[in-house]
């Protein structure tokens, strides 16, 4: 680990609950960039959301979402009228955050692991992993590891994560993790701008 490498441990117990943008539920922010950004000016944001009743999701113009069911039986979503069944835990589901989305709970409340990012400036890849892994950070990017089931261990950094604890890693090109249960791994990077045809 060099002086340019950093790892921040973000404990689940330190997260306050906040109302959804549309007032229909409760969210607990794990991390966001830029730090301190609000619901309207983040580049990316990761949270855990408690969904206790049927109703619409908040709309986020210009934002893509990846949603992973962490607890509960699941949801039946209608995204611009197109059905999307979310009934398998630890299976990331990607959809546009600016399309009208309605939610019907299948059998009681759920907890969702939620990743949101500006599609024109940020790339975000979400996977749920287990076992012993060597993870690569995207160039100039950030790695977020969140324990969803059981614990996770960052061997190179001497960090242990309890349930829903997170580690935010920057600078290091590689990160070695041990996950006896399941952990979400999110890689954030800058989206490359494409040059117009004929541009120098």
- pLDDT attached to residue 171: 81
Look at residue 78 and tell me if it is in a domain: yes
pLDDT digits (tens, 9 = 90+) for 150-168: 999 998 778 899 999 999 9
Look at residue 144 and tell me if it is in a domain: yes
Q: pTM, whole model, 2 decimals? A: 0.90
Query: Above 80 in pLDDT, residue 198?
Result: no
Q: Does 138 lie in the same domain as 74?
A: no
Mean pLDDT (the chain, rounded): 90
Question: For residue 156, which phi and psi values (nearest 5 degrees)?
Answer: -70, -20
pLDDT digits (tens, 9 = 90+) for 96-131: 999 999 999 999 999 999 999 999 999 999 999 999
Q: What is the CA radius of gyration of the chain?
A: 17
CATH of the domain at 151: 2.60.120.10
Look at residue 106 and tell me if it is in a domain: yes
Q: Does 131 lie in the same domain as 78?
A: no
Q: Does 109 lie in the same domain as 20?
A: yes
Look at residue 6 and tell me if it is in a domain: no
Which residues are registered as beta bridge partners of 196? Answer: none
Q: Does 106 lie in the same domain as 25?
A: yes
Domain end residue (candidates: 118, 143, 159): 118
Q: Does 135 lie in the same domain as 87?
A: no
Query: Above 60 in pLDDT, residue 16?
Result: yes
Q: Does 134 lie in the same domain as 93?
A: no
* Residue 54: domain span: 16-118
Give the Å distances, CA to CA, from 42 to 33, 117, 193: 6, 8, 19
- pLDDT attached to residue 109: 93
Q: Does 174 lie in the same domain as 89?
A: no
Domain count across the chain:
2
Q: What is the mean pLDDT of residues 175-197?
A: 85
Query: Above 90 in pLDDT, residue 193?
Result: no
Domain end residue (candidates: 118, 148, 169): 118
pLDDT digits (tens, 9 = 90+) for 51-99: 999 999 989 999 999 999 999 999 999 999 999 999 999 999 999 999 9
pLDDT digits (tens, 9 = 90+) for 136-145: 888 888 999 9
Domain end residue (candidates: 96, 118, 140): 118
Q: Quote the CA–CA distance of 142 and 117 in Å, as a whole number.
A: 13
């Amino acid at each position: 680990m060099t002086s340019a490498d950093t790892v921040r441990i973000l404990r689940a117990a330190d997260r306050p609950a906040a109302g959804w943008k549309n007032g229909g539920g409760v969210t607990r922010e794990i991390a966001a960039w830029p730090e301190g950004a609000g619901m309207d000016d983040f580049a990316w944001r990761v949270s855990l959301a408690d969904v206790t009743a049927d109703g619409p999701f908040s709309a986020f113009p210009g934002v893509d979402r990846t949603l992973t069911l962490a607890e509960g039986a699941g949801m039946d979503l209608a995204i611009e009228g197109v059905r999307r069944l979310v009934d398998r835990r630890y299976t990331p589901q990607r959809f546009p955050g600016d399309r009208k989305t309605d939610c019907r709970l299948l059998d009681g409340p759920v907890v969702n692991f939620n990743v949101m990012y500006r599609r024109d400036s940020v790339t975000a890849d979400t996977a749920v992993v287990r076992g012993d892994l060597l993870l690569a950070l995207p160039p100039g990017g950030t790695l977020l590891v969140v324990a969803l089931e059981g614990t996770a261990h960052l061997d190179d950094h001497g960090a242990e994560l309890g349930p829903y604890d997170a580690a935010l890693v920057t600078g290091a090109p590689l990160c070695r993790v041990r996950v006896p249960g399941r952990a979400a791994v999110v890689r954030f990077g800058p989206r490359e701008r494409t040059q117009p045809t004929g541009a120098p």
